[in-house]
Structure 1
Amino acid sequence: MYLENVVVDAEHPQRLGRFWEELLGCSTLTDEPDAFETRLSVPDGPALDLCFQRVSTPPTPNPRLHLEVYGGEPDAQDAVVRRALELGARHLDIGQREVPWVVLADPEDNPFCVMEDRAEYAVSGPLSSLPLECADVERDARFWSELSGWVPVDSVMPGALRHPSGRGPLLELCPERRPAASGEKNRLHLDLRLEAGDDPDLTAARLLELGGAVVDHDWGDLPWNVFTDPSGNILCLLPARSVTD
């Protein structure tokens, strides 16, 4: 099993997907009216797909997962911010005060950050990190590490995980600002993909043993299963790919 997708709900998937594709230097996988998928590849590291799916609901404030873009030294960081603004982002005040990163909103008002230079970002690539709010950092780090295969690394954030190649973005488990509401649908969420030979039932059982839960949803008949992690963050467990995929 491995971490495959960052999924973003979008009112206009193509517009939002192209913004992120241009900003991060990704490659288009799917370009359809209701879905836009683009792949972020890190040399000698993982591929991570950003999937934008059409929904009718607008974004909610204070998302539990957001994207952080690598900026670097001040001049380079300024250049990334200018590029984001040219592509349709805007500055966003969330009460951050004086911080070394720059807070922006993408074209659908999802907040994201352009980060300053940090040692742990040197091997991240253009997407420096994926901060995910949680109620218990150590517990959720164990959950995500076992299920994704990503491993703990030294970072400013105590719950940081990275692909076992040692490259690519960090998954940062951050103390939550508020508990997840029951049944709350995350605007952004992560997808795990089963590999050939993985037993779906055993995998689901282990996910539950680690503190996850099954989501009772009304989103129709889906070809994957929907769970939450121990802190209530939505995640999807996708079936293994067939040989024809």
Structure 2
Amino acid sequence: MATRLVQINMKALDDSLLGRFWADALGWGVDSEGPGVTNLEPVGFAYPDPAAVCIDLVARPEPKTVKNRVHVDLATTSTAHQTELVARLRDLGARPADVGQGEVPWTVMADPEGNEFCVLEPRSRYRDTGPIAAVVVDCTDPREMARFWGEAMDWTLHEVTDDHASMRSAEGVGPYLEFVRTPDTKKVWNRVHLDVCPYPGGDPAAEEARLCALGATDPGVDRSAIHWTVLADPENNEFCLLSPR
């Protein structure tokens, strides 16, 4: 049994407006499941496919109060492309952000609702990922996060150190999932989280039990109105276990 990362879930004060920003930023299409839910995926994409990790924006009234523990890094192909992309994102409504990064070759920005993201300088490892180079999770122990997520999903581990770990779909396509050591710890529920799903024919209850045996916990979310399972990883980051697809 195994799961795969299929999308990131992002809470938004206005899912439609924020969805339009990210669709324009990534060159993706926009769909809606109804009021308060906006889906983003590449044009012509057949969900789920490891070639992309989609974005699901869900309206919530609570404002953002702390730095997100999950963010995306955007890929560029040259220094000129990085400069052009930063300028285009600013025109779309993004702004520079200071998260204590100091002098770095990448550019830290925030979307119109303050969600942090990075525009990376050109790096050869991200040349074939698509517009999203990596989904990045802040953590205190990258090795333990790599252990859990490496067993939770069938993705391939590419690097594991005390400060950084990364993995990618076993098919070698799409973005990386990366864990970066940071000094801060989780304080509030995450406005951005991971969504995983089993493969077709998978048993959701059995997969939930397997994930809990690996170290996932039940964060106590009321499930009465939802048809998916909410769990938390070893550092208490919420994630959703969706129905098999």
Give the structure-1-normalised TM-score: 0.89
User: Which has the higher mean CA deviation after the structures are superposed, 105-114 or 22-31?
Assistant: 22-31
- Counterpart for residue 107 of structure 1: 112
The 1:26–1:224 alpha-carbon spacing in structure 2 relative to 1, beyond 3 Å, is: same
The secondary structure found in structure 2 opposite 1:21 is: helix
The 1:203–1:218 alpha-carbon spacing in structure 2 relative to 1, beyond 3 Å, is: closer
Instruction: Report how many residues are paired.
Output: 239
Q: Is 1:192 matched up with 2:201?
A: no
One-letter identity of the residue aligned with 1:204: E
Task: Identify which of 72, 75, 91 aligns with 1:70.
Answer: 75
Please tell me whether the aligned partners of residues 14 and 31 of structure 1 are also in contact (alpha carbons under 8 angstroms): no
**1:73 and 1:225 mapped to 2: Cα distance?**
41
- State the Cα deviation string for residues 141-183 of structure 1 (Å, max 9, x = none): 12212222211125997410111121211110111332223xx
Structure 2 unaligned residues grouped into runs of 5+:
none
**1:48 and 1:189 mapped to 2: Cα distance?**
12
**1:192 and 1:167 mapped to 2: Cα distance?**
17
User: Which has the higher mean CA deviation after the structures are superposed, 44-53 or 165-174?
Assistant: 44-53
Task: Identify which of 15, 30, 53 aligns with 1:13.
Answer: 15
- Counterpart for residue 230 of structure 1: 234
The secondary structure found in structure 2 opposite 1:100 is: coil
One-letter identity of the residue aligned with 2:232: T
**2:54 and 2:112 mapped to 1: Cα distance?**
19
- Counterpart for residue 177 of structure 1: 183
**How far off its partner does 1:94 sit?**
2.2
Give the structure-2-normalised TM-score: 0.89
Q: Is 1:221 matched up with 2:225?
A: yes
Task: Identify which of 164, 174, 180 aligns with 1:168.
Answer: 174
Please tell me whether the aligned partners of residues 120 and 155 of structure 1 are also in contact (alpha carbons under 8 angstroms): no
**How far off its partner does 1:202 sit?**
1.9
One-letter identity of the residue aligned with 2:99: I
Task: Identify which of 125, 131, 135 aligns with 1:126.
Answer: 131
One-letter identity of the residue aligned with 2:18: L
CA RMSD of aligned residues (A): 2.2
**1:219 and 1:12 mapped to 2: Cα distance?**
24
**2:17 and 2:223 mapped to 1: Cα distance?**
24
Q: Is 1:211 matched up with 2:194?
A: no
Instruction: State the percentage of identical aligned residues.
Output: 34
- Counterpart for residue 98 of structure 1: 103
Structure 1 unaligned residues grouped into runs of 5+:
none
State the 4+ residue runs in structure 1 displaced beyond 6 angstroms.
none
